[in-house]
Structure 1
Amino acid sequence: MKVQSQRKGRSVAARRPPNRREQIRVAATELFLEHGYHNVSVTDVAGALGISASALYHHYRNKQDLLFHAVLSGLHTVDSLIQEAPGLDEALRSLAVLVTGPRKVFAAWEREARNLDGSQREAIRDHEAEAVAHFGLLLRDARPELGPDDVELVARAVLGALGSRGRHRIRLPRRRHEQLMYRLGSVVAHCPLSTGESGDGQPGARSHAPMAAGLRVPRRDQILTEAIRLFDERGYQSVTVADIGESAGIVASGVYRHFPGKVDLLVGATNRGGERIRAAAEQALLQAADPRAALKLLLRAHIDISVENAHLIGILANERDQLPEKERTALRRVQAAYLDVWLQALSTLRPVQDPAELKIVIHATHAMTSFVVRSPRISPRPDLRERLAELAAHLLLDR
């Protein structure tokens, strides 16, 4: 019996795929993106492959280790394509093929990395910076007129636009989709940038004008602002009411005096974000004399909202599925109406293009803006709004 058992063990081992570790990582990535990191267990990942949880632990220490390698693998894939490309154009073509394929590497990188611990998040940020720097080398060779700061700005803008593929469910025939994403990346990469600071001299992202002397932010607003920041930085499910209270300088019971529960904070956050994008759309329609003016006003308002409320934009993009059904449906309607206003303006200026393609262009514009303003190295730029407006206008109008 002992010999038979040993033979059986060798037979099982012989049938184990040599790429089992990669299979586990790919399956986990798909589940994390479909259901959210906190809604997926190690048993779920193992079950998707028909193996036991103990077999999975031979390859990864725990679920967070699995998430770390899932995100890191996506970053390595992007960086490898960039480093292997002989020039900017070849890199853009390779990345367009990648983002229109089945692997949602950018989505895992941007959305799920928030669930990692501090040291792992720092490691991902370092790898992200390396990928941006490598892409910047290709940009510098193709556009020697750009200074170092503009090289990084454009590099992040290109990667942000290409990463938009994971933010929506719009599908085109594969080859056509590749060509569109390549075109979007190329338009951003070659966008000419003006020099000088923005006309209004406003600072970059996450900066706010000080309150008038002697006035304080209402406690409820302070709590909500801290909740928005924490939900965006760590993910809704990783944040506790105690965390929010500590960040706001009060105990958890103090939070409950203003909000019945944590989900009410998320509802308040998404309501705030929905109100701001709805107001921006209404103002653009009221003030614009024609579709071109409407698009310009929409773009300026969206950039202002993104620069001043980077964490809020992050929540609207990444935490909608955590809302109760009623609020989730309401937010979807607000976001759909916002997209429709953009589409109306853009389709008038580009009437021959498929509406599905135009929606992809709009999503790319929004994703590019979000990715850029969330960079701590770029957000302090005093000319950020003006440069983003130039990049986005070229992207929208395909100049």
Structure 2
Amino acid sequence: MATRRPPNRKAQIRATAAELFLQHGYHNVSVTDVADELGITASALYHHYRNKQDLLLNAVLDSLDTVDALIRDADDLDAALRALAALVTGPRSVLAVWEREARNLETAQRAAIREREVAAVSRFVPLLRAERPELSEHTAHLVARAVLGALGSRRRHRISLPRRRHEQLMLDLGRLVAFAPLPTRPAPEAPTSVPAGPPPGVAGGGLRRGRREQLLTEAIRLFDERSYQSVTMTDIGEAAGIVASGVYRYFPSKTDLLVAAVNRGSEQLRAATETALAQTGDSREVLTRLLRAHIAISLEQTHLIGILANERDQLPDKERNTLRRLQSDYLNVWVQALGNVLPERETPELKVIVHAAHGMIYFTIRVSGTDPWPDLPQRLSDLGLAMLTGARNTSGTC
């Protein structure tokens, strides 16, 4: 007797592909790998999807559709937050597929995803403004992005908490961001055009960077925007205005460029941490300085932060282990500072809260793009402090 095809086969394929992309990286997964995981042939998979790129596009769209549907079906803000908290603490890393893997899509496909991102955020805004009518449309969009960023931080760690406890914590963190007190400020005027950046190799004030610095700067940008494995030495050379053979005079391999980029990002985080801890103050002041330093680096070095977040697995073993230790040390500094403010919280919960703050900052900056937010550092600080200092554990809830 012939085996009957499951009615949800396409959804199974998308879900399996998404998990494999997240576990191993898009470029390390083949269509055959996805088929083998499902126990079907590659030809059977091609019956549903044209190629791996088509599969990735649909996996990302599926993640966006899932988030969009939860928001659309919610009767109010709290219902939306509950649904999203349940989603992110569930077995599937839905938001991670959207956030990390969409950069592997083609340019036109990324533009389509960008439109869907805006639509999902926009759907959240009316629910938010129904509870907070004092927020302008502009500010509500920013808060909506911050909420999604905080909740989506779940993909950035493997901290184990009991499911119900973890879900409640994420719900409480989402509420803290959604209802964060924000100083009343006039909405910034949108610029008529986005200022063009300096040409390759030119820094601020018209000063020309050294060739090695040009190459590293362009490599950092390209690795973050397209993913490390999608970028060639020729791409980097073209971006810096030289031929590919010229790149090898400064960096023997693409791996050397990635290692240099990661070392730079790690050093900047370490230096910012030392500066924040060198000043005196009470526990809340120390935490505030750490938060503001992290926001400043995230805004000034967005591509570096993206590489630290997404390209660790592409490093050689020695450098990957070194980066893992440095990131662990950085997290522990934050956990100690937050633990002094929230002494009733256990260490695993403190780690989840710190990751939520970092995820909120990262995601908000990334999806804000060229939106006019001249006061974004202060807004992010307001939202971050509300979440960090408000996450108290009283009667089982924040």
Once residues 90 and 50 of structure 1 are traced to their aligned partners in structure 2, the CA distance between those partners, rounded to angstroms, is: 38
> Could you tell me whether the CA contact under 8 Å between 2:181 and 2:386 is conserved in 1?
no
> Could you tell me whether the CA contact under 8 Å between 1:99 and 1:162 is conserved in 2?
yes
**Residue number in structure 2 paired with 1:251:** 243
Of 308, 314, 330, the residue aligned with 1:316 is 308
Q: Does 1:23 align with 2:12?
A: yes
Of 301, 317, 324, the residue aligned with 1:325 is 317
3-state DSSP class of the match of 1:89?
A: helix
> Could you tell me whether the CA contact under 8 Å between 1:373 and 1:379 is conserved in 2?
no
> Could you tell me whether the CA contact under 8 Å between 1:306 and 1:313 is conserved in 2?
yes
**Residue number in structure 2 paired with 1:290:** 282
Of 228, 234, 237, the residue aligned with 2:226 is 234
> Could you tell me whether the CA contact under 8 Å between 1:157 and 1:369 is conserved in 2?
yes
**Residue number in structure 2 paired with 1:84:** 73
Structure 1 gap segments, 5+ residues each: 1-10, 199-203
**Residue number in structure 1 paired with 2:96:** 107
Deviations 1:278-310 (A, max 9, x none): 111111111133322221111111000001011
1:16–1:298 Cα change, 3 Å? same
Q: Does 1:268 align with 2:260?
A: yes
Of 163, 178, 181, the residue aligned with 2:152 is 163
Alignment length (residue pairs) = 381
3-state DSSP class of the match of 1:374?
A: helix
Once residues 324 and 309 of structure 1 are traced to their aligned partners in structure 2, the CA distance between those partners, rounded to angstroms, is: 23
**Residue number in structure 2 paired with 1:4:** none
**Residue number in structure 1 paired with 2:382:** 390
> Could you tell me whether the CA contact under 8 Å between 1:291 and 1:349 is conserved in 2?
yes
Once residues 197 and 78 of structure 1 are traced to their aligned partners in structure 2, the CA distance between those partners, rounded to angstroms, is: 31
Of 115, 130, 138, the residue aligned with 2:127 is 138
Once residues 149 and 168 of structure 1 are traced to their aligned partners in structure 2, the CA distance between those partners, rounded to angstroms, is: 31
State which structure, 1 or 2, has the greater radius of gyration over its C-alpha atoms. 1
Once residues 229 and 48 of structure 2 are traced to their aligned partners in structure 1, the CA distance between those partners, rounded to angstroms, is: 26
Please report how far the alpha carbon of residue 42 of structure 1 lies from its aligned counterpart in structure 2 after TM superposition: 0.5
Once residues 71 and 216 of structure 1 are traced to their aligned partners in structure 2, the CA distance between those partners, rounded to angstroms, is: 39
> Could you tell me whether the CA contact under 8 Å between 1:281 and 1:298 is conserved in 2?
yes
Output the TM-score relative to the length of structure 2.
0.92
3-state DSSP class of the match of 1:332?
A: helix
1:48–1:87 Cα change, 3 Å? same
1:155–1:121 Cα change, 3 Å? same
Q: Does 1:216 align with 2:208?
A: yes
3-state DSSP class of the match of 1:101?
A: coil
Once residues 204 and 110 of structure 2 are traced to their aligned partners in structure 1, the CA distance between those partners, rounded to angstroms, is: 36
Deviations 1:136-183 (A, max 9, x none): 111121111111210110000000000000110002101011100000
> Aligned residues: percent identity?
63
1:21–1:147 Cα change, 3 Å? same
Once residues 197 and 26 of structure 1 are traced to their aligned partners in structure 2, the CA distance between those partners, rounded to angstroms, is: 43
RMSD: 1.9
Please report how far the alpha carbon of residue 25 of structure 1 lies from its aligned counterpart in structure 2 after TM superposition: 1.1
